[in-house]
Amino acid sequence: MKRKGSVLSDAIGLIGIGLVGSAMAERLVADRFNVVGFDIDKTGCERLEQLGGKAVDSPAELAEQTRRIILSLPDTDAVLQVVEGPDGVLKAKKLPEYIIDTTTGEPDKTAELAKRLAKQDIHFLDAPFSGSSRQVRDKEVVFMVGGEKAAYEKCMDIFELLGAKTFYLGASGNGSKAKLAGNLILGLNRLALAEGLVFAAKLGLEPKAFLELLKVTPAYSAAMDVKGKKMLEGDFAPQARLRQHHKDVSIITKYAAHLQQDLPLSKTHLEILEKAIAAGDGELDNSAVIREIQRRGKA
């Protein structure tokens, strides 16, 4: 049972209460977990308390009240800051046992962090997922998890609550690697859909009818279900922000360069995302990439 004003031993820590973190908090609270949260943006903390969770003033304070912590942060640098920085998790008088990092981050840095935390008996799982904040709410996301198998099994209740499916991929960093490779394909599917919809409209086809046609052809991708309507209606209320996908593609191209692997489509994708951000679309949903394709048709 949940007790108001107190924190039980089964409390879940949540650091990062933005679009995705808020959706996670909703599901956790609805399933009667006690959620203790922190975000540098006080509106996120207020949102958590409105849901029935408890906000605290620092990651260290949060760590002292929870055994398991979920991170939902913009990038690896933010993860390192909340874990190892001033007032970070490691500054707590009592350290947590498990950290589940859902951030789309850099695999090498993630694996190194897992090694450092293991020396302090903290089990770190890199567990990014495929899906948006809406899909978290609808329990449609797919987790990709790297780290110790035993730690993964100890946190299965969280993965089963938040996700439709979970894949254990072995060593630390492998979850992040899978997410990057998956996001490469997903992002290009979304970009191809945007380009195809714009081209169809230019040809004089009725866009909504054309989208329905696409869904039953070999051209189909899940991007059509998730982003097609938003693109056609110009509804760019963020479920996953465009600037965040730009960050992902930046990491993808960085790792590809290190591996001496040319990714010509991803290079073009990165340039398109950069132009979209320069045009002011960075805070919009990533389906807003269609706006950049449309702008190019007016040149």
pLDDT tens for 85-127 read 999 999 999 999 999 999 999 999 999 999 999 999 999 999 9
Residue 4 lies in a domain: no
Residue 299 has pLDDT above 60, yes or no: no
Mean pLDDT calculated for residue range 69-78:
96
Cα distances (angstroms) measured from residue 130 to each of 20, 36, 76, 81, 138? 12, 24, 17, 24, 13
Residue 6 has pLDDT above 90, yes or no: no
Q: Are residues 195 and 114 part of one domain?
A: no
Domain boundary residue, one of 115, 141, 171: 171
Rounded to the nearest integer, the mean pLDDT of the chain is 94
Nearest by Cα to 38 from 30, 28, 27, 46: 46
Cα distances (angstroms) measured from residue 112 to each of 35, 43, 63, 98, 117? 28, 32, 21, 16, 9
Domain boundary residue, one of 120, 142, 171: 171
Residue 67 lies in a domain: yes
Q: Are residues 215 and 123 part of one domain?
A: no
Range of the domain at 211: 177-296
Residue 10 has pLDDT above 90, yes or no: no
Mean pLDDT calculated for residue range 163-167:
97
Residue 242 carries which DSSP code?
A: H
pLDDT one-digit tens code per residue, 214-264: 999 999 999 999 999 999 999 999 999 999 999 999 999 999 999 999 999
Q: Are residues 133 and 186 part of one domain?
A: no
Residue 260 lies in a domain: yes
CA 140 – CA 122 distance, rounded (Å): 29
Which CATH number characterizes residue 106's domain? 3.40.50.720
Residue 26 has pLDDT above 70, yes or no: yes
Sorted by sequence, the CB contacts under 8 Å of residue 182 that are 6+ apart come out as: 130, 144
Residue 292 lies in a domain: yes
**What confidence tier does 32 reach under pLDDT thresholds 50, 70, 90?**
confident
Mean pLDDT calculated for residue range 168-185:
97
